[in-house]
Amino acid sequence: MTPDRRKFLAGTAALAASACVPIDTSLPGRLTAKLRVIEAASGGTLGVSFYDTASGASMGLNRSMRFGHCSSFKFSLAAMVLYLDQQGLLDASAHIRWSADELMFNSPFTAERLEQGATLLELAETAQKSSDNAAANILLRQVGGPEGMTQFWRDIGDTISRLDRYEPEVNNVPAGKERDTSTPDAMARTVARLAWGDVLSDEPRALLRQWMADTQTGARRVRAGLPDGWTAGDKTGTSIWPDNAAQYVDIGWVQAPDREPVCFATYFRSDAQQGGISPQSEAVLAEVGKVLADFALNGVS
């Protein structure tokens, strides 16, 4: 365990011991209290929504507060490519190329394939799995830009989420702004619609879930708090933007053995600027993962 993680866990234990939150012995009350303790120890603002795909039960913290997507929008973008292909509105097997001018930081696949190009399906996969920034921008231009992404959310019933800009500006979302944001409740339900609902037919839906399961960028976030033997898939986002507080995002689904999946959307906005990814900030979302596991096992009616 890292010193940062030990420090964070000690802080949560101290806050819990000091009874800083009201006592509510019901399961929703107990889990909400745990989330409030995590937030109080975190040095920032926590946004959480858990959504049970079987019962429709949900709970969380700051569920209607807006947070920036950062790179987490790429999950919906990958799903949109699969959906448009399914509907015959776009050919995901179409091969395209791009210029060196379109490359930017964190564009490993598109830099490697600069001369060769790739299919739209390959770009969707790398946008989800490795968060390739150039791939996301190339795909956005194929599907109507940020406006097209926003319209897709509206078409599937998400009236809250919006995308306004391309990478990397999408990461510049100060607290209180609406551009390039969603809420925990809206995004948890969007994950459920796309990964487990009927927006996509069986084959593309299974492919999307596999891409999420193969994504490794969230290994130290929500997944780190889950018990062994669970399956999960997610998409992360991180903003370390100059003059703004850092933000960490993890959205996805978890499934305990012999249980139905639970979808989640988690956001942590630090009170401070950071010079790089903070293990202590990622540990905040790992602690949320433990609360999510309790919800998934015990349910909230």
For 75, phi then psi, to 5°, come to -60, -50
- Position 4 scores a pLDDT of 54
- Which residues are part of the catalytic machinery? 71, 167
Domains of the chain: total: 1
C-alpha distances out from residue 153 to 124, 148, 190, 212, 218, Å: 17, 9, 8, 19, 23
The CATH number covering residue 40 comes to: 3.40.710.10
For residue range 221-242, what is the model confidence (pLDDT) as tens digits? 999 999 999 999 999 999 999 8
Low-confidence ranges of the chain (pLDDT < 70): 1-24, 301
| Distance from C-alpha of 9 to C-alpha of 150, rounded to nearest angstrom | 38
Identity of the amino acid at 198: D
- Position 18 scores a pLDDT of 43
Structural domain containing residue 216: 3-298
| Distance from C-alpha of 249 to C-alpha of 267, rounded to nearest angstrom | 5
For residue range 250-283, what is the model confidence (pLDDT) as tens digits? 999 999 999 999 999 999 999 988 989 999 999 9
- Position 58 scores a pLDDT of 96
- Position 1 scores a pLDDT of 52
- Position 16 scores a pLDDT of 47
pTM listed for this prediction: 0.92
